[in-house]
A and B are shown apart, each in its own frame.
Chain A
Amino acid sequence: MEKYLFVALFAPIVGSLFSLLFTARKKNVITALVTSGLLLFSFVSSLTLLFAVHDGLVLHVKLMDWISAGSLNLPFGFIVDNVSVIMMVTVTLVSSVVNIYSMGYMAHDKGYNRFFTYISAFVFSMLILVMSDNFVGLFIGWEGVGLCSYLLIGFWYEKESASWAGNEAFIMNRVADLGMLMGLFLIYWQFGTFSYEEVFAHVGSVNVGVVTTIGLLLFIGAMGKSAQFPFHTWLADAMEGPTPVSALIHAATMVTAGVYLVIRASDLFMLVPEVGHIIATLGTFVAVFAASMALVNRDLKRIIAYSTLSQLGYMFVAAGLGAYWIALFHLMTHAFFKSLLFLGAGNIMHAMDDELDIKKMGGLFGAMPYTAILMAVASVALCGVYPFAGFFSKDAILAAAFNGGNFYIWFALFIGAGMTAFYSFRLIMLVFFGDKVYKKLGFHPHETYPFVLWALLPLGILSTVAGFFEKPFEEFVTKVLDKYEFSMAHSTELGLIFLTSGFVILVIVATIYKYAKGGFSKQLETMPLFLLLKNQYYIPKLYEVAIFKPYYALSRFAWKQIDVRIIDFSVDMIAKILYRSGQQSRKMQSGNLSDMLRWMVVGIVILLAIAIFYRPMV
C-alpha cells in the first residue's frame, strides 16, 4: 500500500514542477490538464487508502533522515491513519474540484500557468502537513501552505491591495508560528523527540504545567493559521486572491490546519482540560464575533470569509471540549459546502465583471439559475437545515457544548447559528432575488461554462448527503481519536435539535420575508452598532495605528537617530579625536631647539615623578 501513499503525496508536486516549466510562457492548457490529472490521481490514491484504513491498515513510512544534530534525529516520516486519511481525502477532493473549476475561472488570466503551479504546490504542502508523523514535519507543511497562501493571495501582484494582503497574511502567520516554534522547542527538550508516537506515549508522565504550556503554545500557532482572534484580520483581506484560492485555501483546507493540529495532538490536549476550555471559549467568541461582522458587510467574498471564521470557531469549540471527532466531522462537511459557496461566488464575480458589492446585484436567479441553486444548497447546509450536511455536524457541536454543561457556550453558538442563517440568506436574497440592480449599472451576467458547473456537482451532492455518514464517520475516526460520550438524555438532545432547527428555520424565513419586502431601511446604516460592525470593530484600524505605523516610526528612529547619530557618530568621534590630537601634538615637533629643550624638561619631570611616586605592586 506504500505506493499509494507516495502517489497521493508526490503526485501534486510533480504536477507543480511540471507546470513550473511553463510559468514564463504563454497560457498552455496542458498545465491545467496535467495538474488536474495528477490531483485526481492523488485523490484516487487517498480514496484507496481510505478503504484500506477502513479495513484496519495503518501505514507508517520513514524516508531519509532530514536533520540530525546533538541528540536530535529527525527523519521525514509519514503516517496514514484514520485521522490523516480523512484529511487527505478531503484535501485532494476539494483541490481537484477547484483545479478543474479554475480551468474555466482563470481561462483568460495571463498568470494561467503560474496559478496551477501554485495550487499543486499548495496541495503538496497541505498533504505534508496532514501526513507527517512528527511535529516538525507538520511545521514544514504549515510553512509551505503559508508560502503558497502568500503567493496566491498576492497572485495579482500588480494590485497594491493584493500584495499588501499577501504580506499581511504571511507576517501575521509568522507571529503565531513563533509561538508554535516555542512549543516545538519545549517538546524537544522534554521528550527528546518530535515524533507524535513517542511524545504522546510519554506525555502522561510529564509535569502538567509543562503540558499546559506546550498546549497553549501549539494553540497559538493554530490561532494564526486558523485566523482566530486576534490574528483574524488577514483572512478577510486574503479575499484579494483569486476566488478558487479562497475556496480551497481560505475556506476548505489551510485555515482548518489549526483545528487539525488540535485534533492530531488530542492525546496531549486531553490531559489539560483547562487549555481545552480556553480553546473552546475563544472559539465561541470568534464564532459570534465573526458572524456579527458578516451581518452588515456588502462584499460578497468577505461575507463568506467571515462565515468561514465563524465556522472555524465552531470547530475549535468542539475540539476544545474534547469532542475531537465532531470537530473533524464539521471540518470535513464545512470543506464541502464552504468551497461550494465560494466557487459559486466566483461564478457570480465572473458574470458581474468582478463586482463584489452584493447591493449592486439582485435578481441574478434568472441569469444563472444553476449557480443559484448550488449556492442555496450550500447555504442551507451552512445554516444546518435538515437533511443537509451542516445539520449533523453543527448540531453535534451544540449538543457537545450543552452536554458538557457549558451553557454559555451553547447559548452563544445558538445565537451564532441564527446569525449564520441571517447573513447567508441576506446574501442569497440580495444576490439572486429582488430588483435587478445590475441592469441599471450595465452588467450582462451569464451562466458559467457547463464543465465548471459539472465540477461543482460533487460538492453539491456531498453538501447534501455527507451528514448521513455521521455514524460510520464517528466509528471510523474514533479508532484513533477519543470517543466522546454524550451523557444527557436522548430526549434533551432531541429537544435541542428541534429548538435549534426551529430557530434557524424561523430566521431564514424571516430573512427571506424581510428582503422580499425590500429589506431594511437605510436609517439603520447610521447606527453606531452598524458602523462598528461595518468597520470590523475598528480592529484593522487599530492594528494600523497601534502596530504598523509605530513600528515603522521606531525603525526609522533606530536607524536615523541611534545608528547614525549615536553609534556611528561615536565611532567617528573617536577617530576624529585621535586625528585632532595628532594634529595638535604635531606642533611640538617644530624643530626649534629651545622648544625641544622645554619639552625635554617636561618629560624628565614626568619620569622623575613616576620614579618617585609609583610603587609597582609586589
Chain B
Amino acid sequence: MEHILSIIVFFPLVAVFFGFVISKESIKTFGITVAVVEFLLSIVLWIGFDTSNAGFQFVEYFPLISQFGVSYYLGVDGISLFLVILSTFMTLISLIGLNIKKDIKNLVITILFLEMTLVGVFLSLDMILFYIFWELSLIPMLYIIGAWGSGQRVYAAIKFFLYTFAGSALMLVGILYLGYQYFLATGTWSFSVPDWHLLVLPFNMQLWLFGAFFLAFAVKVPMFPFHTWLPYAHGQAPTIGSVLLAAVMLKMGTYAFIRFSLPLFPDASYYFLYPVATIAIIMVIYAAMVAYAQEDMKQVIAYSSISHMGIIIIGTFAMNAEGLTGAIFLMLSHGIVSGALFMLVGVIYDRRHTKMINEFGGLATVMPRYAAIFGVMMMAAVGLPLTIGFVGEFLSLLGFYRVSWLMTLFAGTGIILGAVYMLVLFKKAFFGKVTKDENAELKDLDKREFTALIPLVALVVILGVYPKPILSTIDMSVKKMINLMEKKALLPSTKEFLIRVNHTGGKK
C-alpha cells in the first residue's frame, strides 16, 4: 500500500508502452483488462482509506528540483478519493462500450494515457505536478476529437485545445507567483499545496491570484461565458470522448475550485462569492434554455452538463459542509449520469448515424429496454429522489440557501427547466408513433451495450438510496477544509460568514 498512488497514476502509462506491441485484434481486450486492474486498484485504495482521517493519506513525497521546491508529491483525501474512482470507473465503462473499429489501437492507447493524466490531476499535491497533468490531459482529448470525431472535428479539437490551454496560462503565472511568495515568506521555495495552506496572503494579493486561477478553472468547468468550446467538442467527439469529457474532465475545474481557490484564498472567495454565484445561476438557467432549443440530442446533453455544473458551483461557493459535500457528490453523480446519457446517445447514433431529434419518435415501441434505461438516466438527471441525482443537487441548493435564499430560488429553477428539456427530448424521441421506416427495425441494446450500461443503472439506484458511505467520507475532509478556511481568513467578515453558514438556527 505504500506506493499505491504512484501505481494508480502510472500503471496506465506502463500499459501504454505494452499497448504498442499488442496486436490490433486483442487491443480492446487489453485495454479493458488494464482498466479493470486500474479500477480494482482504486477500489483497493478506497478499502485501505482510513475513513477517520480527514487529512491526506498514502502520501508520497520525493523532491524533484529541490532548489526550486518542485517535488513529486501525491496524496489522497475524502475530496479526491471518489473522483479518482470515478475516473477509473468511467474509463472502464467507456472502454467496454467502445465500438470504433478505425485505428482502434491508437485509440485505446490514447484513452489509457488520458486515464493517467486524469488520475494524476486528482492526486497531485504539488502545483507544478498538478499543472503538468492538467495540461497533459488536453493532448489525448485533442487527439480523440481530432482523429475519431465527426463533422468539423479538427476545428472542434483545436478550439477545445487552444481555449482551455489559453485559459490555463494565467494559472501558471499564479502558480509561479505563489511559489515565489512562499520563498519570500520562508526563504525556501515550495509548490506543495499543504505548504501553501500555511501561507497567509494579504487580501489584495488573494484577489489577484483568485482571478488568475479562476480563468483556468472557469474555462474548464466550463462557466458562462467561456463555455462555447464544449458544444463543439461534444458535437464532434466520438462517444468515448464525450463520456470522458463530460464525466471526468469537466470535474477537474470544479475540483480545482475546491482544492485550491477556497482554502488558498478564503477572503477572495468570499469577496467574489456573489459574482461567481451570479455566473453560476446564469449557467443553470441559460444553459437549460439553450438545451431546450437544441435539435441535436447530443447537444441537449452537452448543454445540460453546463446547467448541472452551475449547481455544482453554487454548492461549492455555499462554503458550508452541506453545500460542498453536495457539490462533490454532484460531481460524481453527474459523471455517472451524463456519461450514461452520452453513451445512450452513442447507441442510437451507431444505429442511425444521426443524432437529430426529429429523425426519431416512437423508439419506446421499437427499443423498449433502451427506452427504459434512458428513462432511468433521465430521472436521475432531473434529480428524482432515490436516484443519485437528487442527493447532490438537494445538498448543494440546501447549502446555498443559507447564503442567499433569492439566489437559491433562481438556481432552483434548474429543477424545473431541467425537467422541461429532458422530458421534451424524451417525448420527441421515444413517444409517439414510429413515423420513419428506418426506425421501425432498430435493434434493442446488445450485450456489449448492456454490460456497459447496467453498472451505471445500478449505481444510479444504489447511491441514490444509500449514498452515506461516500457522503460521510467526503464530508469529513470537507469539514477539515472549512476549518482551514476559517483559520486562514483574514477579514472578520469572512470569518463571520463562514461561521454563520456552517451553523443552523435562526432569529428567535
Are A567 and B225 also in contact (CB < 8 A) when A67-B394, A69-B326, A559-B294 are?
A: yes
CB <8 Å contact, A68 and B228: no
| Chain A residues positioned under 8 Å from B227 (CB to CB) | 567
Q: Is the CB of A181 closer than 8 A to any CB of chain B?
A: yes
Which of B286, B472, B505 contacts A558 (CB under 8 A)? B286
Quick one: which of A69, A147, A167, A205 has the most chain B CB within 10 A? A69
| Per-position binary interface string of chain A over residues 134-150, scored 1 when its CB falls under 8 Å from any chain B CB and 0 otherwise | 00100110011001001
Cα(A64)–Cα(B469), bound, Å: 12
| Chain A residues positioned under 8 Å from B474 (CB to CB) | 69
Are A67 and B467 also in contact (CB < 8 A) when A178-B409, A192-B505 are?
A: yes
Cα(A144)–Cα(B430), bound, Å: 21
Q: Is the CB of A552 closer than 8 A to any CB of chain B?
A: yes
| Per-position binary interface string of chain B over residues 393-413, scored 1 when its CB falls under 8 Å from any chain A CB and 0 otherwise | 011011101100100110011
CB <8 Å contact, B228 and A555: no
CB <8 Å contact, B386 and A188: no
CB <8 Å contact, A555 and B289: yes
| Per-position binary interface string of chain A over residues 265-276, scored 1 when its CB falls under 8 Å from any chain B CB and 0 otherwise | 000000000000
Which of A67, A69, A140, A147 contacts B321 (CB under 8 A)? A69
Q: Is the CB of B449 closer than 8 A to any CB of chain A?
A: no
Cα(A185)–Cα(B504), bound, Å: 11
| Chain B residues positioned under 8 Å from A178 (CB to CB) | 409, 412-413, 415-416
CB <8 Å contact, B423 and A167: yes
Q: Is the CB of B293 closer than 8 A to any CB of chain A?
A: yes
Cα(A326)–Cα(B423), bound, Å: 38
Are A174 and B416 also in contact (CB < 8 A) when A64-B466, A71-B321 are?
A: yes
Q: Residue on B with the closest CB to A158?
A: B433
Q: Is the CB of B506 closer than 8 A to any CB of chain A?
A: yes
CB <8 Å contact, A163 and B326: no
Which of B391, B405, B472 contacts A185 (CB under 8 A)? B405
CB <8 Å contact, A558 and B163: no
Among listed B33-41, B102-110, B360-368, interface-contacting one: B360-368
Task: Kindly provide the distance from the CB of A83 to the nearest chain B CB, expressed in whole angstroms.
Answer: 22
Question: Contacts A186-B405, A551-B420, A559-B290 given; 5 further ones with Cβ under 8 A?
Answer: A70-B320, A144-B384, A157-B430, A182-B408, A559-B289
Q: Is the CB of A258 closer than 8 A to any CB of chain B?
A: no
Cα(A568)–Cα(B227), bound, Å: 9
| Chain B residues positioned under 8 Å from A166 (CB to CB) | 423, 427
Q: Is the CB of B351 closer than 8 A to any CB of chain A?
A: no
| Chain B residues positioned under 8 Å from A552 (CB to CB) | 292-293
Q: Residue on A with the closest CB to B322?
A: A70
CB <8 Å contact, A67 and B395: yes
Classify chain B: how many residues form its interface, as a range. Answer: 35 or more
Are A24 and B293 also in contact (CB < 8 A) when A71-B321, A147-B379, A178-B412 are?
A: no
Which of A67, A186, A188 contacts B391 (CB under 8 A)? A67
CB <8 Å contact, B419 and A157: no
CB <8 Å contact, A64 and B368: no
Residues of chain B from 228 to 275 with CB closer than 8 A to chain A in the complex: 228-229
| Chain A residues positioned under 8 Å from B379 (CB to CB) | 147
CB <8 Å contact, A205 and B468: no
| Chain B residues positioned under 8 Å from A167 (CB to CB) | 423-424, 427
Task: Kindly provide the distance from the CB of B338 to the nearest chain A CB, expressed in whole angstroms.
Answer: 19
Q: Is the CB of A600 closer than 8 A to any CB of chain B?
A: no
| Chain B residues positioned under 8 Å from A192 (CB to CB) | 504-505
Q: Is the CB of B491 closer than 8 A to any CB of chain A?
A: no
Task: Kindly provide the distance from the CB of A220 to the nearest chain B CB, expressed in whole angstroms.
Answer: 11
> What would 21 A/B residue contacts be, using CB atoms closer than 8 Å?
A68-B475, A69-B326, A143-B384, A158-B365, A158-B431, A158-B432, A163-B427, A163-B432, A171-B419, A171-B423, A174-B415, A175-B416, A178-B412, A178-B415, A181-B394, A188-B504, A206-B506, A206-B508, A210-B506, A560-B293, A567-B228
Q: Is the CB of B471 closer than 8 A to any CB of chain A?
A: yes
Q: Is the CB of A190 closer than 8 A to any CB of chain B?
A: yes
Task: Kindly provide the distance from the CB of A128 to the nearest chain B CB, expressed in whole angstroms.
Answer: 9
Q: Is the CB of A494 closer than 8 A to any CB of chain B?
A: no
| Per-position binary interface string of chain B over residues 175-197, scored 1 when its CB falls under 8 Å from any chain A CB and 0 otherwise | 00000000000000000000000
Are A68 and B471 also in contact (CB < 8 A) when A23-B368, A163-B432, A170-B419 are?
A: yes
Are A140 and B162 also in contact (CB < 8 A) when A66-B466, A69-B395, A192-B505 are?
A: no
Q: Is the CB of A65 closer than 8 A to any CB of chain B?
A: yes
Q: Residue on A with the closest CB to B434?
A: A158
| Chain B residues positioned under 8 Å from A184 (CB to CB) | 398
CB <8 Å contact, A189 and B384: no
Cα(A562)–Cα(B287), bound, Å: 11
Q: Is the CB of A556 closer than 8 A to any CB of chain B?
A: yes
CB <8 Å contact, B385 and A157: no
CB <8 Å contact, A571 and B163: yes
CB <8 Å contact, A555 and B293: yes
Are A185 and B408 also in contact (CB < 8 A) when A67-B391, A70-B399 are?
A: yes
Interfacial residues, chain B to chain A (CB-CB below 8 A): 159, 162-163, 225, 227-229, 286, 289-290, 292-294, 320-323, 325-326, 329, 362, 364-365, 368-369, 372, 379, 382, 384-386, 390-391, 394-395, 397-399, 401-402, 405, 408-409, 412-413, 415-416, 419-420, 423-424, 427, 430-433, 465-468, 471-472, 474-475, 478-479, 502-508
Cα(A164)–Cα(B431), bound, Å: 10
| Chain B residues positioned under 8 Å from A175 (CB to CB) | 416
Task: Kindly provide the distance from the CB of B66 to the nearest chain A CB, expressed in whole angstroms.
Answer: 33
| Chain B residues positioned under 8 Å from A568 (CB to CB) | 228
Q: Residue on A with the closest CB to B155?
A: A572
Residues of chain A from 63 to 86 with CB closer than 8 A to chain B in the complex: 64-72
Q: Residue on A with the closest CB to B294?
A: A559
Q: Is the CB of A493 closer than 8 A to any CB of chain B?
A: no
Q: Is the CB of A473 closer than 8 A to any CB of chain B?
A: no
Task: Kindly provide the distance from the CB of B361 to the nearest chain A CB, expressed in whole angstroms.
Answer: 10
| Chain A residues positioned under 8 Å from B471 (CB to CB) | 67-69
| Chain A residues positioned under 8 Å from B432 (CB to CB) | 157-158, 160, 163
Q: Residue on B with the closest CB to A164?
A: B427
CB <8 Å contact, A163 and B431: yes
Q: Residue on A with the closest CB to B362?
A: A158
Q: Is the CB of A594 closer than 8 A to any CB of chain B?
A: no
| Chain A residues positioned under 8 Å from B322 (CB to CB) | 69-72
Q: Is the CB of A154 closer than 8 A to any CB of chain B?
A: yes
Task: Kindly provide the distance from the CB of B402 to the nearest chain A CB, expressed in whole angstroms.
Answer: 5
Cα(A356)–Cα(B464), bound, Å: 42
Q: Residue on B with the closest CB to A567?
A: B225
| Chain A residues positioned under 8 Å from B326 (CB to CB) | 69
Q: Is the CB of A207 closer than 8 A to any CB of chain B?
A: yes
| Chain A residues positioned under 8 Å from B479 (CB to CB) | 70
Task: Kindly provide the distance from the CB of A94 to the nearest chain B CB, expressed in whole angstroms.
Answer: 24
| Chain B residues positioned under 8 Å from A562 (CB to CB) | 286
Q: Residue on A with the closest CB to B466?
A: A64
CB <8 Å contact, A72 and B398: yes
| Per-position binary interface string of chain A over residues 194-231, scored 1 when its CB falls under 8 Å from any chain B CB and 0 otherwise | 00000000000111001000000000000000000000
Q: Residue on A with the closest CB to B472?
A: A68
Cα(A567)–Cα(B408), bound, Å: 26
Cα(A558)–Cα(B225), bound, Å: 12
CB <8 Å contact, B386 and A140: yes
| Chain B residues positioned under 8 Å from A554 (CB to CB) | 289
**The 7 nearest A-B residue pairs measured at CB:** A70-B321, A192-B504, A70-B322, A185-B401, A69-B325, A163-B431, A555-B293
CB <8 Å contact, B401 and A205: no
CB <8 Å contact, B424 and A70: no
Cα(A2)–Cα(B471), bound, Å: 29
Which of B364, B402, B468 contacts A67 (CB under 8 A)? B468
Task: Kindly provide the distance from the CB of B462 to the nearest chain A CB, expressed in whole angstroms.
Answer: 13
Q: Is the CB of A537 closer than 8 A to any CB of chain B?
A: no
Which of B408, B413, B503 contacts A71 (CB under 8 A)? B503
Cα(A69)–Cα(B471), bound, Å: 7
Q: Is the CB of A575 closer than 8 A to any CB of chain B?
A: yes
Task: Kindly provide the distance from the CB of A376 to the nearest chain B CB, expressed in whole angstroms.
Answer: 38
Q: Is the CB of A177 closer than 8 A to any CB of chain B?
A: yes
Are A207 and B504 also in contact (CB < 8 A) when A70-B322, A163-B431, A555-B293 are?
A: no
Q: Residue on A with the closest CB to B504?
A: A192
